Amino acid sequence: MKTLMGYIAGLIFGLGLTISGMTDPARVLGFLDIAGAWDPTLIFVLGGAVATNFIGYRLVLRRLHPIFGERFQLPTRQDLDSRLIVGASLFGIGWGLSGYCPGPAFTSIVGLSAPLFAMLVTMVLGWFLARAITTRAT
């Protein structure tokens, strides 16, 4: 049942990204172009996500445990370390250069184009490179 709920959540996420137009990298790049033809669409999608999560977490965490799990899996770390800052910076640079966030990129795979394919391949290579770097560092 837990796996089914994951699929349903992914379906809702993908539908939301597609309906809101966030699978179009031009929307993201338009949002980042504050000195040119600025497109505020992304801020409304992000605002809706933050509001939904803010309310949802408060309602869900009133329960003793999840419906399909034994305990909630919440982050425990609250510190900012160099790995988080460097990783977030690289993520932001990649997002800004390509216009694709990983979620919308995977959602857009049905309309695969050369730029999207290049982004997905290099993103996967980045995962392997990051794993190799962090494994060697520890």
Per-residue confidence in pLDDT tens, the chain, 138 aa: 778 888 998 899 889 888 888 888 888 889 888 898 899 988 998 899 999 999 998 999 999 988 888 888 888 888 999 888 998 999 888 888 888 888 888 888 888 888 889 989 998 999 999 889 888 876
| Residue showing tokens 């809706």 | 48
Counted domains in the chain: 1
Q: Which two tokens stand for residue 74?
A: 């919440």
Interacting residues of 106 by C-beta distance below 8 A, sequence separation 6+: 14, 120
Distance between CA atoms of 15 and 42, rounded to whole angstroms?
A: 15
Task: Name the residue range of residue 49's domain.
Answer: 2-137
Phi, psi angle pair for 33, to nearest 5°: -85, 70
What pLDDT is recorded for position 55? 96
